[in-house]
Homo-oligomer: A and B are copies of this chain.
Amino acid sequence: MHIHQTVVFRHKPVIIGSYSIVGPKEGKGNFGRYFNYVMKDDSFGEESYEKAEKKMLQSAVIGAIEDAKIKPSDINLMLAGDLLNQIISSSYAARYFNFAYLGLFSACSTIAESLAIGASLVDGGEFDTVVCSTASHFSTAERQFRFPLELGNQRPPTSQWTVTGAGACVIANEGKGPRITMATFGKVVDWGISDVNNMGAAMAPAAMDTLLAHFKDTNTTPDDYDLIATGDLGKLGSEILIDLMEDNGIKLGLNYKDCGQMFFTRSQNTLCGGSGCGCSASVLNSFIIQKLRSGEYKRVLFLPTGALMSTTATQQGETIPGVCHAIVLESEECAKSENKKQKQKMQNKKEVAKKK
């Protein structure tokens, strides 16, 4: 069932396994103790950073399957994407698995896109068990999107640091774990920002658009969530989002956080914070899922944003479109409890929508 942009899952697909892997700098950041694996060096024993990124994604998929205590042959489908041209980290990693494969791209929002499609396919009964994954690497992103690493460019104050990391999770139609209860599919929004060193400002309008759609479609408010987490708006972008939401009459309180802003410590000097597909994917598949499993978080709205530009588009004078897909995750207890108030709210909303 969908209400405008939001799909409400009937059977609430379960995240039965998850895994996160990050680079050494990331391991020293604020989420260090939550990650499953911290690499000793960011080449991961490979001869290129691109191959290291592929290996991280591969390791995350294997780790999530092991965490789910299932066999690789139980997986029906892999959904993955990354920032590299032609998403090679994902497609090349997929060679090693005997799974059907769907390649996705919505930049740093890809982990949410994969969860939204994956949960839909499991909920609709098309597949029983799917694995979703994304990765990014500081050194591959930097040299593809910005400057050669050897150039040692100075970084402007609005810039962010691409996280070297990957995250993966296994979604199934039965089992124990946090549930995916809703997904809001985002629109492409472009407010004319063209500064590739200010991704936060480019993506904030997309986050606003999806948040407004989500609250409207589901008749919820920020207070209905223990955590509202954007992906990598960073320090500036998340401040812009708070302002934009306030302009729309919605106050994002202390339960609003941005994975990128929280990622590194102050002394790590990453300016506006972390970014990249691996940023939100590694935080989701460590910190967030662990807190949903323990019951500390009951309901989380996870909405990473993506900046959809390429170097070619930028060189041709194009501005930067953003997109933001949102996922609602609930702890097992929360999803099981009837939560009558919530259901009633949704029902009322549906009736109002029908009348219109």
Contact = CB atoms under 8 A, between A and B. Distances in A.
Contacts of A311: 85
A309 B106 CA distance: 19
Contacts of A188: 91, 94-95, 97, 101
A81 B101 contact: no
A127 B8 CA distance: 11
Contacts of A91: 106, 188, 308, 321, 323
Interface string A176-189: 00000000011111
A35 to B, nearest CB: 27
B308 A102 contact: no
A313 interface: yes
A312 B117 contact: no
Given A7-B127, A106-B102, A316-B50, A88 B187 contact: no
A28 interface: no
Interface residues of A, number: 60
B120 A85 contact: no
A2 interface: yes
A194 interface: no
Contact of A86 (B7, B50, B190, B310): B310
Contact of A308 (B1, B5, B88, B116): B88
Contacts of A120: 120-121, 124, 126
Interface string A127-155: 11000000000000000100000000000
A77 interface: yes
A76 interface: yes
Contacts of A117: 102, 117, 121
A146 to B, nearest CB: 14
Interface string A91-106: 1101101111111111
Contacts of A107: 86
Contact of A2 (B76, B86, B104, B316): B76
Contacts of A81: 105
A350 interface: no
A316 B51 contact: yes
User: Which among A51, A105, A321 has the greatest number of chain B C-beta atoms within 10 A?
Assistant: A105
B321 A102 contact: no
A187 B101 contact: yes
Contact of A7 (B87, B102, B126): B126
13 contacts: A86-B309, A86-B313, A87-B105, A88-B318, A95-B321, A101-B187, A101-B188, A101-B323, A103-B113, A120-B121, A120-B126, A123-B124, A123-B126
Given A94-B321, A101-B188, 9 more contacts: A50-B313, A77-B185, A85-B311, A94-B187, A95-B188, A98-B187, A99-B187, A105-B105, A124-B126
